[in-house]
Chain A
């Protein structure tokens, strides 16, 4: 592959990763935060509905 200036190239020092030996703690935390965001927004609009009812 030709190196293109300014375009970061795949890291040769750290070859493409195998999933098995890697931690997914951050992924777990991220999906929990995502779920919490959905719940908070849902209840915020629901409270508007209730207050206008």
Chain B
């Protein structure tokens, strides 16, 4: 194939200007991923008692670097880059100029914020972990950097909205492409959810860290953080669901099970993933049991769209597997394309979401939370959700997205290496997260450096499992190095050619998608109502009957 033909095929999927924008986001995402993976491996080895850090480096410093760079930076940059590319792919191959300009403005703000945050962490002035709980106080530059990342992501979200508005204007009366709908839903959730952390950082933490106010209302700051912290998990998950709903059916040679079901699940995620933050604060004083119960009920409601997604995916796999000759109750399972990394990596992520989601239901149940709260079980839990289900899906996307955007080919060798990388990642995570779950049930705490608690017999009994965590961390680091190597090859050195940007088609052509699903003001209004019900009075109480304020504390 000539270079011209290759370029023209690529441009028919996503034009060059959008490809550049999307790749800029992916570049920062995987740069942050590389640093965070190194920090994660060191951290697992230290906690396992296998190494000690060389002079001056503190455990909580690398723990903060790992959490911030993976949980906040890698995910947000990857998601925005992926969503811009998919918006262009499904709305005519390009983005309007306004959307691209907003995309670049957002990228610049986010990069500036990331650099500020990273530098303060490396200087050991912000070892406050990724939740940056007050009264631990970081350098003001850390909070300002995080605020810039959030504001930049809002601006990028407005770019997604601009592209969607142009499509709606040009196709009045038509249902929007499923990818565009889901991208808008994801960025809408993000805009609503980040209001909490923005208020916390702008009005509480920055003035307090600058010394303008002497004390901070710790309970209010934690409540505002978790108003954001739980939907943050769905902000990670929704792009993975987009890939499962839209890309995977095309990759396996099937069709989307139901366009309406997919849209409804995203609407439910907008409604029910925000007014639930108290399930992260079940053991905290100062919030009444009744309000905690309201949040627990709403948390269990948000399980429904995830179960709808599981049903829908099983249905896609079964119909496709049966069409390929699968017989019996589960014969279709073996007919899926297990040797294709574009399917294999996300599919392992999907399967791991079964124990991951189950762990989430356990965390959110009041009595069960008393068993696992602040133990390393919770760390094991989110290493299964974001660290496995989401991460493996993002890796699976990157394997086809980067060559599709650079006009290169995903070769058979890269495909095999990608499968090996997925296996290393999965083995590492099973060892590490499995040990964390087990230790958590024994009461081993999270967020602590290596210690034997003066050789207490209980703590000594944890040590073999902590070593297992360290070994798991080594496997994960190996998988990370392999991934970065593969992505550099795919971005700069793979043979020129065409890689498909897979977009599935709706399987039920007779189905008419209800127009109400696209009435955003209705869903935004309902979401605001639920938030007001779940948070209005409790926040009023937290301000009116505020606990004593706390001066800043530096614990490291």
Contacts and interface: CB of A to CB of B under 8 A. Distances in A.
A38 B307 CA distance: 11
A27 B367 contact: no
Contact of A20 (B359, B362, B508): B508
Interface string A1-43: 1101111101100111111101111110111001001100110
Contacts of A48: 371, 441
A41 B318 CA distance: 26
A25 B315 CA distance: 9
B330 A29 contact: yes
Nearest to B400: A7
Contact of A31 (B311, B329, B337): B311
A1 to B, nearest CB: 6
B314 A30 contact: yes
B286 to A, nearest CB: 23
Interface residues of A, number: 35
B544 interface: no
| A interface SS class | loop
Contact of A4 (B320, B355, B365, B412): B412
Contacts of A17: 254-255, 319-320, 322-323, 507
Interface residues of B, number: 54
Interface stretch (B24-32, B493-501, B520-528): B493-501
B253 interface: yes
A16 B251 CA distance: 11
B340 A16 contact: no
Contact of B319 (A2, A22, A30): A22
Contact of A14 (B315, B323, B354): B323
Interface-central residue, A1, A22, A42, by most chain B CB under 10 Å:
A22
Nearest to A27: B314
Contact of A6 (B315, B319, B413): B413
Nearest to B508: A19
A6 B257 CA distance: 27
A11 B370 contact: no
Nearest to B251: A10
A52 B410 CA distance: 53
B412 A6 contact: yes
Contacts of B355: 37, 41
A49 B323 contact: no
Given A17-B320, A30-B314, A6 B508 contact: no
Contacts of B498: 1-2
Interface-central residue, B315, B318, B412, B413, by most chain A CB under 10 Å:
B318
Interface in B356-376: 357-359, 361-362, 365, 367-368, 370-372
B506 to A, nearest CB: 10
A18 B362 contact: no
Interface of A: 1-2, 4-8, 10-11, 14-20, 22-27, 29-31, 34, 37-38, 41-42, 45-46, 48-49, 52
19 contacts: A6-B339, A7-B412, A8-B337, A8-B339, A14-B253, A16-B255, A17-B254, A17-B507, A19-B257, A20-B508, A22-B322, A26-B318, A30-B318, A31-B310, A34-B307, A41-B359, A41-B362, A49-B367, A52-B371
